[in-house]
Structure 1
Amino acid sequence: MTDTEEVDFEVDQDELDTTPVLEVPSDQLSLLVNDLHVSYRVFGAKKVGHGAGRDWGVLGRLVRRGAKQPTVREIKAVRGITFAAKHGEAIGIIGVNGSGKSTLLRAIAGLIPPAGGSVHVAGNPALLGVNAVLMKDLTGERNITIGALALGLTKKQVNERFQEIVDFAEIGDFVNLPMKTYSSGMGARLRFAISASAIPDILMIDEALATGDAAFRAKSKEKMDEVREGAGTVFLVSHSLNTIVSMCTRVLWVHEGKLVMDGGSKEVCAAYKRYTDSRRAATSGGA
């Protein structure tokens, strides 16, 4: 599958929430990303060319004789992105695979240290699903407890909201089974339910809504509006432009680690669709 093939441009009226996106006007900043750079180092990449190298000495050369010398290649995933977000905004992030969308979210959440620039957050960001905490060998019940505690809820709050989380995730009796028995959709819904249970200052959702049906997306939108009405900010990464337009008031288009466009959801999504259409046409013409 190519990058453009997975973008959902078809409008299914039965699956879209036709209610307008909630407007929460505010002049207060919740987030400032300033000239952000994020790089990865890939070890073991094939070395190209020859350099002066290092003088290992006679013993070192004997030890290393015949051994492959690992090389390191730097991948620049985010390159100089700058933007500000206000309280109450719902911001979509779009782009083809490998454009840096998920890396940008992880950097905002503080999970990846920047190679350059800075991220200033007024509040506590929560990247959907506390993925690093949820464990497949544990039951849904245990994961709810661990995940909610990791987000800052007290044991009393976890107990009070436990059934609400189960009902929102629509997992029923599966809550008593290990997560490794869950479908991808069930796991995604549970991660969303846990993350949203804490009503974070900044909620970041990465592709989770793609696995839900129309009813779940409607509930997710209500939860996102609840976060924003409480002076929170929501970021949503999705390949579905329909989902982005129906849930977001603003969109960031990221390409090759750079911010290409920042504006209203319909305007940016239309420009992105023109780009992907032309890219698809060029690929088809050259086949």
Structure 2
Amino acid sequence: MAETRTSPDAPVSDERVPTVVVDDVHITYTVHGARAGRSSAASALSRLASRRRPPGARTVHAVKGVSFAAYRGEAIGLIGSNGSGKSTLLKAVAGLLPPARGRVHTQGQPALLGVNAALMGDLTGERNVVLGGLAMGMTREQIRARYEEIVDFSGINEKGDFITLPMRTYSSGMAARLRFSIAAAKSHDVLLIDEALSTGDAKFQRRSKDRIEELRAEAGTVFLVSHSNKSITETCDRALWLEAGALRMDGPAKDVVAAYEAFTKRP
């Protein structure tokens, strides 16, 4: 059985302190198909009763033998085609997906911030700030002290008192800005950001990039998944290029992005 993660108790004394080590990680999952003419629920009940493998089920090898080390103070971009394994790899680093083979070692507890991260749609933005802060490991006292800063950073109240409205009334951009603002209110050993910066306007993106620089200066490591190559080169000093689940290139962000763009332009 694969070992998924370890958290060293003592800090490493070397100047380049590793925060994440991914060692020959493979991630697989099963995609299920439903029988024609029957509901998915009915098909699932039938499979449970008969203990048979569902028709059309297939195993997806989403990440294939990826290895790298990340260090304190780095901002690392993940690029690649749709379905290349970027988001899957982030979930493995966050401890949400156990590797089928290989190991993920982390220093501290990574925090994953995704555009689709669940906040409670029927609760107000105010209440979600509290719940999100608690989920990020903040105390209620810390949340109260940083509440105004979180709301101001998100910018969702610039055109009205939206923080008092239910989250379901927010646009996708407003909700994504609030998620990032909650996560960025606390320093993290490792912060994993999945497409959250691509939804805001230029002003919010500038604030976000400045905050990422602050997090790096506080000895954190930031991973950023984005389909915007410009965001990667402006925000990150290093990039990992995944293609079909394999690590194709690891190096300075500008070099990796240039190689990826040349690859995508090939006939």
CA distance in 2 between partners of 1:259 and 1:232 (Å): 23
2:257 is aligned, of 269, 274, 281, to 269
Structure 2: unaligned runs, 5 residues or longer? 1-13, 36-48
User: 1:126-165 maps to which residues of 2 (within 5 A)?
Assistant: 126-128=111-113, 133-165=118-150
**Highest Rg: 1 or 2?**
1
2:153 is aligned, of 168, 181, 199, to 168
2:197 aligns with 209
The DSSP-based 3-state class of the residue aligned with 1:128 is: strand
Residues 199-218 of structure 1: per-residue CA shift (max 9 Å, x gap): 11111111111111221111
2:16 aligns with 27
CA distance in 2 between partners of 1:88 and 1:146 (Å): 28
- Give the conservation status (yes or no) of the 8 Å contact 1:45–1:73: no
- Matched residues, percent identical? 56
TM-score, normalisation: structure 1: 0.78
Moved over 4 A (4+): 129-133
- Which moved further from structure 2: 219-228 or 123-132? 123-132
How far the C-alpha of 1:254 sits from its partner, in A, is 0.3
TM-score, normalisation: structure 2: 0.84
Query: Aligned pair 1:250/2:235, yes or no?
Result: no
Query: Aligned pair 1:104/2:89, yes or no?
Result: yes
- Give the conservation status (yes or no) of the 8 Å contact 2:85–2:243: yes
CA distance in 2 between partners of 1:241 and 1:70 (Å): 40
Q: What letter is aligned with 2:185? A: S
CA distance in 2 between partners of 1:130 and 1:26 (Å): 33
Cα 1:153–1:277 change in 2 (3 A) is same
- Give the conservation status (yes or no) of the 8 Å contact 1:26–1:87: no
- Give the conservation status (yes or no) of the 8 Å contact 1:26–1:88: no
CA distance in 2 between partners of 1:69 and 1:157 (Å): 48
Residues 132-183 of structure 1: per-residue CA shift (max 9 Å, x gap): 5511111111111111001110010011111111111111111111111101
- Give the conservation status (yes or no) of the 8 Å contact 1:244–1:265: yes
How far the C-alpha of 1:73 sits from its partner, in A, is 1.1
Structure 1: unaligned runs, 5 residues or longer? 1-24, 47-62, 283-287
| Aligned length, in residue pairs | 238
Q: What letter is aligned with 2:125? A: G
